[in-house]
Amino acid sequence: MQAQHASIGLVPLTQRPAGSWRHVLGVFTDIDDTLTSEGAITPDALEALGHLHQAGLHVIAITGRPVGWSEPFAQSWPVDAIVAENGAVALVKQQKLYQADAPTRTGNFARLQHVAACVLREVPGAVLAQDSAGRETDIAVDHSEFVHLNEAQIAEVVAVMRREGLNASVSSIHVNGWIGSHDKWQGARWITRTLFGRDLAAEVDRWVYVGDSTNDQVMFQHLPQSVGVANIRRFEAELRHKPRYITQGERGAGFAEMARALLADRRL
């Protein structure tokens, strides 16, 4: 099923069969450039989160952003949780949940700082993301938020991270590197099991995922009811696993478009 899904491409969300999301239980969403524009959540995206929550749907944000950056949003947005640092840690209001124990995190943190130093030394122009102070389980190099790196520089950053034994992925703004087998999909399975006692892998058709970049591919791969906001076109040529649908609107407007379609199905 995954191989077939990967070849489907980007179908306009307006062509989705009416009623096909009637039995959806919840929504997973990326944050940067999916809910936000210029680093802030758009009013229509925030309103859409509220409408989904009020309708009784589970809503979970999954991001490469650090846990420190995510804390105020976990407390103020109408979401069940924010899974940060590509699946390593979750915020449920004021509670913080980790996948790894404290000694493992301490050892990994030291190794991550070593790799960060390698990247800065070896890749001209590379700088750590400005949100790095809030990171506990990964590192991030800025490529489009405040600093621009070209494709060759981004590829160099990824190569150094992987050479040093890290997992690496590229979001719309950062290159993230981390230690361990977790990623957005594994983090989604973990938090769904932890909070709701549900096996996400057994009910993939009952969850929608919304994203905008290459680091969302693992979610596009596993969740057939996946949606790319329109600005995903920037990365379309690089996507091995694409979302099934694409919105007309970009960023928060695209997320709100998805929410309206889902809530319309709920009323059928």
pLDDT, one tens digit per residue, over 82-113 is: 999 999 999 999 899 999 999 999 999 999 99
pTM to 2 decimal places: 0.92
Low-confidence residues in the chain, pLDDT < 50: 1-8
pLDDT at 7: 39
Distances from the Cα of 6 to the Cα of 12, 107, 198, 245, angstroms: 16, 37, 25, 12
Residue type, 128: L
pLDDT at 5: 44
pLDDT at 268: 83
Nearest alpha-carbon partner for 218 in 188, 196, 185: 185
Beta carbons within 8 Å of 38's beta carbon, 6+ residues apart: none
